[in-house]
Structure 1
Amino acid sequence: MPTTATRRTATVAALLRTTALSLLAAAAVGVGAGPAVAADGDVAWTVRTASNSYGAARSSYSYNVNPGGTVEDAMVVANRGTAALKLSVYAADGFTTDAGQLDLLTRDKKSVAIGAWAHAGTDSVVIQPGKTAQVPFRISVPGNATPGDYVGGVLTALTQANQAEGINVDRRLGIRIKLRVGGELTPNLAIEDFHVRYDGTLNPFGKGDATVSYRIHNTGNAALSGQQDVSVSGPFGMLRVRADEIAAPPELLPGESWDVTVPVHGVTPAVRLASTATLTPLLTDVSGSTTSLKPVRATAHGWAVPWMLTLAVAALIVVLVGALLYRRRSRSQRRTREDARVRDAVAKALRGQGTQTA
């Protein structure tokens, strides 16, 4: 039986997670979304990028830095509420959630990249109602940092007590940081754990559906999204059917994976199926320009036996064989009866001749 403390801990974790997702979706994702806002009654604040040599009205932070280099920038925090605010300020590593959204690690989780390299000029900031504060931060990239893409964010956080529940709720609001460390860039997506399964139909002459599943794995050092194309065919590429439009996977950070399941309708049960997936990686640079890379292809095979048609053919064969055997048996019986009639006739005739001789 869970204890009260356990239930409270689970509730806090759920609230932290929900708050982080909802606020970061507004702050760290979505070009041109404007300043992100956290509001609850009389408590409200916004965050936005500072206007400086890196640009104005930026939706997020993006940098190209060589190993050993540093970046200095700032975030502007505004208090839109009616009471003074004391907000914690910190940086954290980013990751892609199961829903395909960017999230940042909570403060109790250890960061090893941007969350460890970025440091705000202060751990907390106090802002009076209607006022703003500019919070500077510095990113110091280690000299031995591996080249490639890193994603994280700089966050403000407010911890409030919920008297009714007896818990503390941590509300976070932050802005994404995308950092590309200079050096050899090796973008690569792999298709793994590829399977195709066929679901038949009761119609012996009908078509069924195939389900294609695989995992997209970012095995390179660059953040990548992609375009997908999936088809299913019979032997020698015959009876090929393409899947309908497939949703693009989220941008995956180096090392991340994304599971894909694609339905393909109207597949002919050609006994042995071949499914082919083509994945075109898309690389986005710091300026926002996207480049298509060399497509990656993978093939998987599966069985698609037309069981209803097979059973119908088997039943027909049984009927034909039975009819043939019945016909042969009938002919044999007719010959036997005819032979018996002839023998009886001959025997009767011979008995008649014997009587006349006597």
Structure 2
Amino acid sequence: MPCSTPYERLPSTPYVRLLVALVLVLLVAPPAAADEGPGWTARPAGGGSAGRDARPYVYLEGAPATVLQDRLSVTNPARTPLTVRLRGDGRAGPWLRFAADTVTVPARTRADVPFALALPGNATPGGLAGEIVASADGGEERRVPVRVRIGGPTLAALTVEDVELSGRTIRYALVNRGNTPLRPRLAMRADGVFGTLLDRPARPLEVELAPGRRLELTEPWPDAPALDSVTVRLRVAAAGGARDEAAASAAYVPVAPVAGGGLLVLGVLAVLGTGAFRRRRDRRGAETAGSDDTTATEPDGGQPAQESRPLAKAGAES
């Protein structure tokens, strides 16, 4: 008699094969991605940096020639170490210094990196912004905003210089002589011999002048006169009482008529000079012919007198 087996072979059906495949996937699959966390982060340290009360940016305040300090938190929820490189960006970026420019954060760890912002002695009072940039391998970045408030008195000073009229263009330069950024406004006026030629009211310019910056600009003047003596005056102003004005003058003369008139004058002078030369030459010719036709006569009307000859040298004739 055949021996009985304690189990029976399961029927090989598509449903059974699918069930076996699912079991194998569940046994071999790695842990869920949720264990890895949401990805690495870079935030201002403190203030509940891992939760909803995290600081949205780094805020620093101080006077020129001081050093301001804070910390940056880099969190690595992965199971492998994370290496990031730190640098500053924006207007405040060159003043940022880190305890370490390259930081390796162990797996499932948070590292707090101290950094400092050194304000130079000539820093302009007011506000400016920048960023801390944390870069991981592969080019992934995290940016942390930095807001800086610099204390001290502010001085608004603005000058307009080197005004020049060039055809249908007015050239000039603006210089910020103070220690605060300025957004200037410009007004223009041009007066000629017979009255006002141009009158533009003050309007804001689409520029921002940083302290100490010089900017060369132009203004179009499509209706510039063809013939006039013009004085153009520029007036600039900005917030904080900064204002200045400058002027330039120029004579507008049509080039073609002047050139034509000059050629006409030269032509007339040439004709007059040629006529005078001919008259002088004719007069000299007539005087020469008259002297050749005249003869000497005796006082009593007799025979013509002998032709006079020059005295001979002694011994030439006997």
- TM-score with structure 1 length normalisation? 0.44
Report 1 or 2 for greater relative contact order, CA contacts < 8 Å, sequence distance ≥ 6. Answer: 1
- TM-score with structure 2 length normalisation? 0.49
